[in-house]
Structure 1
Amino acid sequence: MKNYKQAEAKFWQGRISEDALYLHELIQLKDLTQIERAQNASVALLGYACDEGVSRNLGRPGAIEGPNAIRKTLSSLSNHWHETPLNLCDFGDLICTDQNLESHQNDTAQAASELLKNGHFPILMGGGHDLAYAHFKGIRKAFPKKKIGIVNLDAHFDLRDGSTEATSGTPFWQIAQEEKENFTYYCFGIQKESNSRQLFQTASDYGVRYLLNSAFNLQNWYHIQKELDQFIEEVELIYLSIDLDGFSSAYAPGVSAPSPLGFAPDVALKTIKYLVQSQKLVSVDVVELNPEYDLDNATARLASRLIYALIDAHAEVNSVKLV
């Protein structure tokens, strides 16, 4: 596979123990070209090292380094799954170095599809939000006849017209063109200041549901839960995309488009756990980490804690299934 780099142990370092107390002692480094059928509950990390879409969208480049920054902050977190039938695997990176975003997206779609077909739970690490188009294509390849709902935690709709050129701002518009009447998309955290009137009209035209950032908080959880319940009921599978620029820059300064008025981690974490518990969530990505602008690795640490919460909830759900 072109521009593929296998997982490297140097990004998984930390304190050494005799009882696998840390994630760097749990992680299994795998080869994406030799995917095997998952024997237990398996979380598959895959890096989307690309900021071509961000550059095309006039954002701050640097997201290509995002996956490795996440690995470094994940590696020292504690392992509480030693008695759980869970495999945590790192399948390395797909790297876009030649500005050929479209080819890179095709490779990513194929990789995501193969992971899903072999029973893994993929968590893709970006990279720009152009990953979402590739990721969804992979899910669709794996489940061609299923109704797939998209939940996006984000300040932006990312529904810009991509007919001329794909960017990090076009992925859900691209998905809408291919899904037609099956396009089912809910965006939590939308900021009026960051989306033009035209984008709100596009969202309306495509039947997109959204919750403004001012309402995406724990104080409004009763309403959020009702919206999630209705959405979960309508679809067979769920794909979750988490854009780090949706969080307040107090938590996530290292992104291509920071915002001081984004949402807080607590409501995102509760939403994540709720979606996992639905048992319809099949694949997730965390995007837009830009280490070049991060402060004390705050954004990378946030990304790793979100992924940790996903792993923990996934392990819990699958442990219940196996009992």
Structure 2
Amino acid sequence: MSQFIKPDSTLWTGRESDARSYLHEKVLCTHADILKKTNTQKTVAILGYACDEGVLRNQGRIGAVKGPDVIRTQLAKMPNHLNENTQLIDVGTVVCEDGDMEATQKSLSEMTDQLLGKGILPIVLGGGHDVAYGHFKGLRKHIPKGKSLGIINFDAHFDLRSNKKRNNSGTPFYQIAQDCQSDNLDFNYLCLGIRKNANDKILFETADQLKVFYIEEKHFNMHYLEHVQLRLMQFIEDVDHIYTTIDLDGFSSAFAPGVSAASPMGFSPDIVLECLKLILDSQKLISLDIAEMNPKYDVDHQTAKLAASLAHYVIHNSQEG
């Protein structure tokens, strides 16, 4: 089963001002059902995915179920640079109950489709990386036939494990690839930050068979910025829409200790921000999620602050609606 929890305004607190200088003073906590379709305003929606059942099934360390709210708490304290014509809304959280991850993904899919139908940019906060499958299903439902969708995943892992035994946080892009094959759609998948010490030989073979584009972590840094930018621009040019997913465990644990699978051998925020700039400048981004935030292992809220900073950047630099 899955449950939808209304937005909690008590999470949005911080320093007070007379000019709505902080995001907690700007955000509107509301249910998506009452929102009208907007063609003139830019609207960004925060949607939570409180589920770590996929991490549990993947034999990872659980705790990401509490990720969405801690990211909200840090985002609330950050400065508001949005103009009056831009809305920031919190539409609540999809919660996994009784281990029914599939029902939770279905609810996420429906909510994503609903938000996009109203002209709203969703930013989904997780939760395990199984968020990607439900998120993709909602995007694909919204996008007209004949239009292509490219997936850009910032991650140490391909997440292309077979789901023959059971769906989990390591299978979402394999599931997406299978769906694309069934629906006669191209599987356009670019993974940035892949580590050889985090993916076995079979996963590399699967990536090659599915024609996945990827850049290994050893080349995903500022020293190779021009190369990364070129590869990214080539991928973006070949698709109509972009779905971006950021797995926080791709970052070095120096920046993100509070994740389900931490490692010091990861990438840094600077290269990710450079890539996000290119993605946003293309005006093809239609949705984004941030996955694997695990407060149980965070240090001084460092990972939550990183996740909130990434969301803050996208909120303030996404295209005008």
Normalised by the length of structure 2, the TM-score is 0.96
- Equivalences for residues 92-241 of structure 1 within 5 A: 92-145=92-145, 146-180=147-181, 181-241=185-245
- Equivalences for residues 259-274 of structure 1 within 5 A: 259-274=263-278
Quote the offset at 1:33 in angstroms.
3.8
Pairing 1:305–2:309 present? yes
Quote the offset at 1:119 in angstroms.
0.3
- Change in Cα spacing, 1:84 to 1:218, as seen in structure 2 (3 Å) is farther
Instruction: Report the Cα distance in structure 1 between the residues aligned to 2:2 and 2:196, rounded to whole angstroms.
Output: 40
Quote the offset at 1:2 in angstroms.
5.0
Specify every segment of 5 or more residues in structure 2 that has no aligned partner in the other structure, as ranges: none
Quote the offset at 1:294 in angstroms.
0.4
Query: For the Cα contact (< 8 Å) 2:2–2:103, is it kept in 1?
Result: no
Percent identical among aligned pairs is 46
2:279 corresponding residue in structure 1? 275
Quote the offset at 1:312 in angstroms.
1.4
2:81 corresponding residue in structure 1? 80
Letter in 1 for 2:105: Q
1:61 corresponding residue in structure 2? 62
Give CA deviations for 1:193-240 in whole Å, capped at 9, x if unaligned. Answer: 000000000000000010000101111111111111111111000000
Quote the offset at 1:36 in angstroms.
2.6
2:246 corresponding residue in structure 1? 242
Quote the offset at 1:164 in angstroms.
2.6
249-258 vs 175-184, which moves further? 175-184
Letter in 2 for 1:47: G
Query: For the Cα contact (< 8 Å) 2:54–2:101, is it kept in 1?
Result: yes
Query: For the Cα contact (< 8 Å) 1:49–1:64, is it kept in 2?
Result: yes
Quote the offset at 1:84 in angstroms.
4.9
Specify every segment of 5 or more residues in structure 1 that has no aligned partner in the other structure, as ranges: none
Query: For the Cα contact (< 8 Å) 1:105–1:131, is it kept in 2?
Result: yes
> Aligned Cα RMSD in Å?
1.2
Give CA deviations for 1:251-297 in whole Å, capped at 9, x if unaligned. Answer: 00000000101000000011111101100010000000000110000
Normalised by the length of structure 1, the TM-score is 0.96
Instruction: Report the Cα distance in structure 2 between the residues aligned to 1:167 and 1:45, rounded to whole angstroms.
Output: 24
Instruction: Report the Cα distance in structure 1 between the residues aligned to 2:224 and 2:117, rounded to whole angstroms.
Output: 37
203-212 vs 215-224, which moves further? 215-224
Q: What SS class does the counterpart of residue 112 from structure 1 fall into? A: helix
Of 294, 313, 320, the match for 2:298: 294
Quote the offset at 1:245 in angstroms.
0.1
Letter in 2 for 1:149: G
Quote the offset at 1:32 in angstroms.
3.3
Letter in 2 for 1:198: I
Of 285, 292, 317, the match for 2:289: 285
1:25 corresponding residue in structure 2? 25
Q: What SS class does the counterpart of residue 314 from structure 2 fall into? A: helix
Q: What SS class does the counterpart of residue 204 from structure 2 fall into? A: helix
Quote the offset at 1:37 in angstroms.
1.4
Quote the offset at 1:35 in angstroms.
3.9
Q: What SS class does the counterpart of residue 3 from structure 1 fall into? A: strand
> Any runs of at least 4 consecutive aligned residues in structure 1 with deviations exceeding 3 A, and if so which?
32-35
Query: For the Cα contact (< 8 Å) 1:35–1:114, is it kept in 2?
Result: no
Query: For the Cα contact (< 8 Å) 1:273–1:309, is it kept in 2?
Result: no
Q: What SS class does the counterpart of residue 108 from structure 2 fall into? A: helix
Q: What SS class does the counterpart of residue 316 from structure 2 fall into? A: helix
Instruction: Report the Cα distance in structure 1 between the residues aligned to 2:33 and 2:132, rounded to whole angstroms.
Output: 22
